[in-house]
Amino acid sequence: MKNLFFVCLLSFLLLFDCQAKQANTLRFTAEDLYPLHFINKQGQADGFLVDIVNAIINECNCDGTIEIMPQARAFRELQNDANTLMMSLLKTPSRAENYDFLGEVYTAHAYLVGKKEKKFLLTNLQSARGLRVSTVRGYFSQGYLEKAGFTLEKDLVLAPEPASLMKMLYKDRTDLVLTNTLHLEDELTSIGLDPTRIEKKLRLNDFPSELHITANKQLSNESKQAIRSAIDTIKQSGHYRILLAKWHLTDS
């Protein structure tokens, strides 16, 4: 009887310890976006920012997992779970009110991209009014274009996800796509499109470009500070630049 009591007690303590660890585990999420974060051929999370997050987890000596999922789901998880973070969220003024941005991990400039065979005289975003300009539904870029006056009735075309967005451009269902050009050639090749057929038409200098690791405001201050410190350490030690070189990226 005494042995049975100790077995039950031990089982309870192990279960309690497991639940406590799960409650303190940090979940880092992101959409599939090569080469920052994606699912590799082995079915594992991989990429520049996956390496950065693994370095952060190691530096701050905390429990953490990495999950690749659709952007909309990653947002929901960020909003509803105090321990869920996004690996790379574009920092905007409105988002800064709702989330805590813990450190810039990459910069990605935005462009209007179009087919080489189509010539447009573009000097700024307003000069693209009247042309069909596209982005992914629900992205920050949708609101950015709508604020500039683009409307679904006239010159704004929305796609459900990035691959569909680029296919629309190649099928002439739109004239220009608002996107960053981060390894766009690889992305196009992966979905069977010829990257030599498009070019950058206009850089959008007022479009936010900083990608940050971002936390729910309910995440513990201890965890937030540990992540901030880890990011600083990784950059100051030179490890950040080593990982940039590994993924053939620049820090501009």
- Determine the topology of domain 111-203 in CATH: D-Maltodextrin-Binding Protein; domain 2 (3.40.190)
- The pLDDT of residue 191 is 86
Q: What is the CATH number of domain 24-107+209-247?
A: 3.40.190.10
Give domain limits for the chain. Answer: 24-107+209-247, 111-203
- The string of pLDDT tens digits covering residues 77-118 is 999 999 999 999 989 888 989 999 999 999 989 999 999 999
Query: 251: pLDDT confidence band, cut at 50, 70 and 90?
Result: low
**Number of Cβ within a 10 Å radius of residue 247:** 16
- Interval 182-203 mean pLDDT: 89
Buried b (16+ CB within 10 A) or exposed e, 222-241: ebbebbbebbeebbeeeebe
Q: Where are the beta strands (DSSP E) in the chain?
A: 26-30, 38-39, 45-46, 64-68, 84-90, 99-107, 110-115, 133-136, 156-159, 176-180, 198-203, 210-216
Round to whole Å and give the CA distance between 226 and 102: 10
pLDDT band (50, 70, 90) for residue 18: very low
Q: pLDDT-derived band of residue 189, with 50, 70 and 90 as boundaries?
A: confident
**Same-fold call for 24-107+209-247 versus 111-203:** yes
For residue range 19-56, what is the model confidence (pLDDT) as tens digits? 434 457 999 999 988 889 999 999 999 999 999 999 99
